[in-house]
Structure 1
Amino acid sequence: MIHKKQRYPQIATILFVSTVFAFTSCKSVSQKTSSEAGLKNASEFPIGTAINVNKLINDQALMALQISNFNSITATSDMKMQSILPAENQFNWKKADTLLYYATKHNQRLFGHNLIWHSSTPKWVEEKGAKDNIWLGKFMKEYIQKYVGRYKGKVAGWDVVNEAFESAGGEYRKTFWYNNLGKEYIANAFRYAHEADPDAVLFYNDFNIERDTTKLNAVLKMVEDFKKEGVPIHGIGFQMHIRMDTPDEAIAYSLKKAAATGLQIHLSEVDIIFNSHNDERLGGIEKYTSVTDEMKQAQAEKYKNLVLMYRSIVPKNQQFGITVWDFTDRDSWIKGFFNMKDWPTIYDENLKPKPAYFGFLEGLKMKIENK
């Protein structure tokens, strides 16, 4: 892992997406045997997956695939506030400790997701905090420092604040935290986490910033303000829940702008869908009810191009890694959350590698010219 305090060189040359296309479109993604060495062995940076820890440790086939392909692991929900502190003064460390044991045993990096997110705030915190914002400010500090301090030196990095901007545009999301503590809650969360573990790599994480330029610019303005004010922010997380029709040119542009900050860049929650949605729960728009071989191949090319853009645009010492959000269509969050069919991951319902898997692998293996 790259240490956050390492000095980053100026970006001298950026390989634009047109160059990427020049050497990725020359041939289709080939189907290799599934016995080939896993994704992590083809990569110069960590390859991660988010997963439910109980599902993982109780499914030997799933675990074997996770171990062979990944060297970084993130909890889907098991390390969020509602899981860690479901009731006042009742910290529940069991799942986080289990995940840490698993990561240590299998020589994987453990990434913490997340500390502050409006959607995972327990009801009891909202009820108490809405009545007393002084208590809420103290609670946030004590929660972060107790949590990060417990895993100091064991969790490599954290999504400190998740999704603090509106789904579209550049406005701060008017969440429970914003409404009671103001936007300063974001900077303070980073300060508290850094005090608890000065060596942890601290990220701001959000979605749609790869395609919504207004939202991206607002996030980057916040980052620049933090840097001027000495707020300890070390990375930007691009969730990358993208669609097949998300333009690669837009993704390349956004990665270039984010990389220019000199911060670590994490593709933190990658999956690629065919259908669309309105970013709201149950808001799926189901254009496709089945998937064809042609669609699978197109998805493979999309995965390959995404990996190549990350490798070619983000300087090596800023490449924190790529994490997929679950890695099987069987376990993907997309279907349940958006109430629609889709096939967003690199393994199918039967835990068999899809063309997307081999596209991802080719993206890791292909030579980057003029880098």
Structure 2
Amino acid sequence: RPTLFEVTAWDADGGIPSGSQAVYEVAAAGQQHVPLHERVGGSFVGQVRVRSSESNGRVLGVTRVYPRTGGRIGTIALITPTALDRCDDVPDGGGSSSSSSSSSSGSPSSSSSGSSSSSSSGSSSSSSSSSSSSSSSSSTSGSSSGGSVQCQATTLKDAGACRGIKIGSPIWELDDPSVTSVARREFNVQTMTTYWMITEKSRGAFDFALADRMIAFAEANAMEVHGHPLVWADDLQVLDWVKALPYAEAESVLRTHITKIASRYRGRVAAWDVVNEAIADDGSGFKPSYWFRALGENFMRIAFETAHAADPQATLLYNEYGLETNVEKFVQARDTLVRLRNGGVPIDGIGWQLHSKVDEVLSPTYPLARRMKTMSDLGFVNYITELDIQIPEHTPEQLERQKQAYKKIARIFLGVERRGYFQTWGTADKDSWLNWWIGIPTWPLLFDDNVQPKPGFYGVLEAFREGAPWHDDPLAGLYRLQHRSSGLYLHQYFDVNNSGVGGVALNTAWWSQLWELYPVGGSNYRLRCRWGGRNLHATGVAVGSPVTAHDEVADWTSQQWQLELMSDGSYRLKNVGTGTYLDTVSSSSHDAVVKSSNSTSTSQRWLLQRAD
């Protein structure tokens, strides 16, 4: 939009001289916030307040300017208007608003602590300014964060604008008016696909016909553009002519391909998936793709640095599937991105594909919120890039569960401090990639085969209208239970004659010692072994009765436990059905059988070590 905004910048922790301020005019569109950051923050933390003549001087938003990292410009994260309503009558002076007072420590994590939520933060550095403008220009009456101001939006994009979030999907069906009309009405961002097998089928012969059509549609309908991907690091997606290249030519071919695409759309793509799906599913490292075989981990550096050189203003993402459910893969991806960024690689954020099943999402131990928070706290912007949620059958019950799953993910996203786009992987069920990938219908999207809204559509709409972030049970999650006395771990070690009962003992750290702790009502929890899915079960009320791993029986209180926190940080686990505590016969043997007891021995103390 052409409207000019008056921007007042003031000090939070030494960024500019104490008590002083500077005023700039910047357009709402574009990325003028980048030079502004240069002037405000440098290596420090600053505050920026935005006013517009169109709003009679009312505060529209405040941004937090984070420090530089690795010589690159830091993130500018939007703190949206719900958190700022209380600041409307603050004088124009530099450092005295209630918003800034909550961040006077200069800590990047504290400047939203006095507001209604940490969910009201931002998008990437390439989209935060546009998020601000979109929320201020929305036709809704809502704010862009939290639930304290009601949002009356009736479309996804307007509901997202209430919360500073852009919503969209790739639109491949450009010749299907039923899809394009829905996209125009509901979306304000589109994924433009630039797969290598389409854009460069043979060396040097580039074909941009599809990408050009997709970006033209987006621009004609005021949608931002998310590009996907510049390199797909999986040999199933690497063309034969590329795999036949001598390794000595790999870097040149990779740089040429990325430069050709990213420079063609320079300034028109807000965010790029630079590298797609490079991490091995077992978390052991990178997949042994051609790019990794030829260049090692350095292919990541080459890809991101080349993309940044070709389009310096674009937000650069690593995009991956399975991070929300595969803890080993998540840890590997997290550590890899941190290591590369600390080495100066220009990685701005992470794309969460979230190809999901409804049972996974609705599980009380679904770890997405915690893992997104981890990446946000590490300074990465979180994008949802390819969301779809499969259901096993097309029934009213399953469609309602799908609605709740979509709503849960949208609410999780509301609670993420550094966030970008919220995108599904397709518009209507009839066009879902899962139809040919799996070969059976799974009805995973927000619109049905007739491109009509499904309950899942209303789940997302409700989540953004209500603006209430998701809150997990603080104890729910994946754990190893370490015996306090011996240092050994609770371990399921066998199945008795295929009977649905497993033995439980102590042992050194194995993957069969991962237990899901999840609430079942009140202060009661179940412990389900990741290996086999059996529940920790007290077999009897008598002291010394064995504890086993048993198939779940919903109404058995002998499979429910209460956790009593001890002064040393350990827990005692009390069985609800028997009233006895999780204990061991011996703490010295690796085969010590776990039994129940009603004593107060220190052998009943367990350390809960998070594994997710």
Aligned to 1:89: 204
- For residues 468 and 394 of structure 2, the distance between their equivalents in structure 1, rounded to whole angstroms, comes to 31
Aligned to 2:458: 358
Aligned to 1:21: none
Q: Are positions 1:49 and 2:169 aligned together? A: yes
- For residues 210 and 384 of structure 2, the distance between their equivalents in structure 1, rounded to whole angstroms, comes to 24
- For residues 5 and 97 of structure 1, the distance between their equivalents in structure 2, rounded to whole angstroms, comes to 31
1:211 to 322, 325, 328: 325
Q: Are positions 1:73 and 2:190 aligned together? A: yes
Contact map agreement 2:165 2:421 (CA 8 A) in 1? yes
Aligned to 2:411: 308
Offset at 1:121?
A: 2.5
Q: Are positions 1:39 and 2:156 aligned together? A: yes
Aligned to 1:295: 398
Give SS of 1:159's match. strand
Offset at 1:367?
A: 3.1
Aligned to 1:33: none
Amino acid at match of 1:218: Q
Offset at 1:51?
A: 2.9
Q: Are positions 1:10 and 2:124 aligned together? A: no
**Looking at CA atoms only, which structure, 1 or 2, has the larger radius of gyration?**
2
Q: Deviations over 1:122-158 (max 9, x none)?
A: 222122x2xx111111110111112111111011111
Aligned to 1:106: 221
- For residues 62 and 110 of structure 1, the distance between their equivalents in structure 2, rounded to whole angstroms, comes to 18
- For residues 351 and 185 of structure 2, the distance between their equivalents in structure 1, rounded to whole angstroms, comes to 24
Contact map agreement 1:167 1:207 (CA 8 A) in 2? no
Q: Are positions 1:228 and 2:367 aligned together? A: no
Amino acid at match of 2:169: T
Contact map agreement 2:389 2:444 (CA 8 A) in 1? yes
Amino acid at match of 1:337: W
Offset at 1:343?
A: 0.9
Aligned to 2:272: 158
Contact map agreement 2:169 2:424 (CA 8 A) in 1? yes
Offset at 1:271?
A: 0.4
Q: Tell me which moved more, 334-343 or 162-171.
A: 162-171
Contact map agreement 1:177 1:185 (CA 8 A) in 2? yes
- For residues 271 and 206 of structure 1, the distance between their equivalents in structure 2, rounded to whole angstroms, comes to 14
Give SS of 1:267's match. strand
Contact map agreement 1:170 1:217 (CA 8 A) in 2? no
Amino acid at match of 2:109: Q
Q: Deviations over 1:73-115 (max 9, x none)?
A: 113xx41111111112211111111112111110001111001
Aligned to 2:512: none
Give SS of 2:229's match. strand
CA 1:369–1:136 in 2, change beyond 3 Å: closer, same or farther? closer
Aligned to 2:389: 272
Amino acid at match of 1:352: Q
2:307 to 193, 207, 223: 193
Amino acid at match of 1:6: T
Offset at 1:61?
A: 1.3
Amino acid at match of 1:63: T
Compare the two structures and name the one with the higher strand fraction.
2
Give SS of 1:245's match. helix
Give SS of 1:321's match. strand
Gaps of 5+ in 1: 18-35, 275-287
- For residues 410 and 206 of structure 2, the distance between their equivalents in structure 1, rounded to whole angstroms, comes to 38
Backbone CA RMSD of aligned residues: 2.3
Q: How many residues align?
A: 328
Aligned to 2:241: 124
Aligned to 1:30: none
CA 1:15–1:174 in 2, change beyond 3 Å: closer, same or farther? farther
Higher RCO, 1 or 2 (CA under 8 Å, sep at least 6)?
A: 1
Amino acid at match of 2:256: E
- For residues 369 and 125 of structure 1, the distance between their equivalents in structure 2, rounded to whole angstroms, comes to 45
Q: Deviations over 1:233-290 (max 9, x none)?
A: 001011011111213531112111111121211011000012xxxxxxxxxxxxx4x3
Contact map agreement 2:202 2:241 (CA 8 A) in 1? yes
Aligned to 1:280: none
- For residues 270 and 349 of structure 1, the distance between their equivalents in structure 2, rounded to whole angstroms, comes to 18
Q: Tell me which moved more, 199-208 or 180-189.
A: 180-189
Gaps of 5+ in 2: 1-29, 35-72, 78-107, 120-152, 472-612
Q: Deviations over 1:319-346 (max 9, x none)?
A: 2111100021100011201222211011
Amino acid at match of 2:423: T
Q: TM-score, normalised by structure 1?
A: 0.83
Q: Deviations over 1:44-91 (max 9, x none)?
A: 211010231xx22x111111001111011113xx41111111112211
1:340-351 → structure 2 map (5 Å cutoff): 340-351=440-451
Contact map agreement 1:74 1:112 (CA 8 A) in 2? yes
Contact map agreement 1:234 1:264 (CA 8 A) in 2? yes
Aligned to 2:377: 260
Compare the two structures and name the one with the higher helix fraction.
1
- For residues 202 and 170 of structure 2, the distance between their equivalents in structure 1, rounded to whole angstroms, comes to 25
Contact map agreement 2:411 2:469 (CA 8 A) in 1? no
- For residues 175 and 51 of structure 1, the distance between their equivalents in structure 2, rounded to whole angstroms, comes to 29
Give SS of 2:382's match. strand
Contact map agreement 2:267 2:314 (CA 8 A) in 1? yes
- For residues 329 and 7 of structure 1, the distance between their equivalents in structure 2, rounded to whole angstroms, comes to 36
- For residues 16 and 335 of structure 1, the distance between their equivalents in structure 2, rounded to whole angstroms, comes to 38
- For residues 213 and 427 of structure 2, the distance between their equivalents in structure 1, rounded to whole angstroms, comes to 20
Amino acid at match of 1:229: G
What is the percentage of aligned positions where both structures have the same residue?
27
CA 1:370–1:161 in 2, change beyond 3 Å: closer, same or farther? closer
Q: Tell me which moved more, 258-267 or 2-11.
A: 2-11
Contact map agreement 1:162 1:205 (CA 8 A) in 2? yes
Amino acid at match of 1:41: D
Q: Are positions 1:140 and 2:254 aligned together? A: yes
- For residues 301 and 181 of structure 1, the distance between their equivalents in structure 2, rounded to whole angstroms, comes to 44
Give SS of 1:330's match. helix
Offset at 1:37?
A: 3.0
2:428 to 313, 325, 328: 328
Offset at 1:227?
A: 2.0
Q: TM-score, normalised by structure 2?
A: 0.51
Q: Deviations over 1:167-198 (max 9, x none)?
A: 24342111121112212101210011111111
- For residues 447 and 256 of structure 2, the distance between their equivalents in structure 1, rounded to whole angstroms, comes to 40
- For residues 134 and 370 of structure 1, the distance between their equivalents in structure 2, rounded to whole angstroms, comes to 49
Offset at 1:370?
A: 11
Give SS of 1:147's match. helix
Runs of 4+ in 1 over 6 A off after TM superposition: 1-4, 11-17
